[in-house]
Amino acid sequence: MEHIYDTIIIGGGPAGLSAGLYAARSKMDTLIIERAAFGGQVATTNEIDNYPGSIENCTGATLSVRMKEQAAEFGALFVSEEVVEVELEGDIKVVKCMRETYKAKTIIITTGAYPRLGGFKNEVELRGKGISYCATCDADFYEGLDIAVLGGGDSAISEAIYLTKFGETVTVIHRRDELRAAKSLQEKAFNNPKIKFIWDTVVEEAKGENGLEGLVLKNIKTGKVSDLKTDGCFVFVGYLPVSELYKGKITMTSRGDIITDEEMKTNIPGVFVAGDIREKLLRQVITAAADGAIAATAAEHYIENKFS
């Protein structure tokens, strides 16, 4: 007889792993599906300093491994698969993956977000050849070299600070004259002698054919165009939700953020959403983990009411 899980969690970042922990701990028959590495974006974050308790040498990778182990200890099951189609409307939900099809009474979608492109000429062509979206993955390549960082949010500034351990110089290019990042990060960056700032400026083009040689910059206040010689450019200009699969099925904003109520319920009964894919004010590990816990609890209540 085919197996029907109590819940299938799609996505194995902090929201999914926290949902998995709470669901499995409530004795729900729980499957977590992840297409890449468990941990999601946080697994590639060097230092986590604002998740309560994560003091001293708590890397994103360590936190992710611990979260996964903890969910597994309570009985959550894991598969590495890519979900290609979902049927969400019926009482039993169907999740079709590349290799297998899985069924469950509830679905919790926690697929997070992916980095937005900077949108300048030659960016895609030089991706992986000097243009990067992940400092933890690629910082090593720029030991002793000149690095540019694009963006002014938490990601750009925290990663710029991290990149100073590798680069000779780190130049942050921001389109305004004020950072969006948390004040504590700003302070660290302003006090770091390796970090320089270029304000009111956007990148128009990446120069180079087989590798990045420099950037063409434009000051948006003066219109002045200039060249910046750099060996690497890390782009951190925000993230977009990984929600393509659910377009036309679940209510979402024009950006693709899925709309939920405070119990993480979507417009479809039995389908819940948690973490960065959801429309929300604050996207952090702590809010992803909290969303996951709430979604699992709401899914448990849904099953109790619907199936018993």
Nearer to ligand NAP, 7 or 158 (CB): 158
Does the protein bind ligand NAP through residue 151 (CB under 6 A)?
A: yes
- In one-letter notation, the amino acid at residue 167 is G
CA dihedral 22, 23, 25, 26 (to 10 degrees): 120
What is the C-alpha end-to-end distance of the chain, expressed in Å?
20
Beta bridge partners of 139: none
Does the protein bind ligand NAP through residue 237 (CB under 6 A)?
A: yes
Contact 66, 38 (CB under 8 A): no
Residue 286 exposed, middle or buried by CB count within 10 Å (0-12, 13-18, 19+): middle
Distant-in-sequence, close-in-space partners of 118: CB < 8 Å, separation ≥ 6: 150, 203, 235, 237
- In one-letter notation, the amino acid at residue 204 is E
Residue 209 exposed, middle or buried by CB count within 10 Å (0-12, 13-18, 19+): exposed
Q: How far is the CB of 11 from ligand NAP (least distance, A)?
A: 16
Does the protein bind ligand NAP through residue 34 (CB under 6 A)?
A: no
Q: How far is the CB of 243 from ligand NAP (least distance, A)?
A: 16
Nearer to ligand NAP, 23 or 212 (CB): 212
Does the protein bind ligand NAP through residue 114 (CB under 6 A)?
A: no
Where does this chain touch ligand NAP (CB under 6 A) — which range of 12-20, 70-78, 150-158, 213-221? 150-158
* Site residues (CB under 6 A) for ligand NAP, limited to 191-210: 202
Phi, psi of 166 (to 5 degrees): -115, -55
User: Measured between alpha carbons, how far is 111 from 33 in angstroms, rounded to an integer?
Assistant: 10
Does the protein bind ligand NAP through residue 128 (CB under 6 A)?
A: no
Strand 93-97 relative to strand 101-109, pairing:
antiparallel
Does the protein bind ligand NAP through residue 256 (CB under 6 A)?
A: no
Place of tokens 């004020």: 178
Phi, psi of 217 (to 5 degrees): -110, 150
Does the protein bind ligand NAP through residue 218 (CB under 6 A)?
A: no
Per-residue binding letters, 152-191, with ligand NAP (x by CB under 6 A) = xxxxx-x----------------xx---x-----------
Does the protein bind ligand NAP through residue 59 (CB under 6 A)?
A: no
User: Measured between alpha carbons, how far is 279 from 75 in angstroms, rounded to an integer?
Assistant: 30
Nearest position to ligand NAP, beta carbon? 153
Q: How far is the CB of 51 from ligand NAP (least distance, A)?
A: 9
Does the protein bind ligand NAP through residue 119 (CB under 6 A)?
A: yes
Where does this chain touch ligand NAP (CB under 6 A) — which range of 132-140, 160-168, 215-223, 278-286? 278-286
Q: How far is the CB of 293 from ligand NAP (least distance, A)?
A: 19
Binder to ligand NAP among 62, 80, 186, 284 (CB under 6 A)? 284
Binder to ligand NAP among 78, 236, 272, 302 (CB under 6 A)? 236
Catalytic residues: 134, 137-138
CA-to-CA dists, residue 279 to 4, 17, 80, 241, 256, angstroms: 29, 19, 26, 9, 9
Binding site for ligand NAP (CB under 6 A): 50, 118-119, 150-156, 158, 175-176, 180, 202, 236-239, 282-284
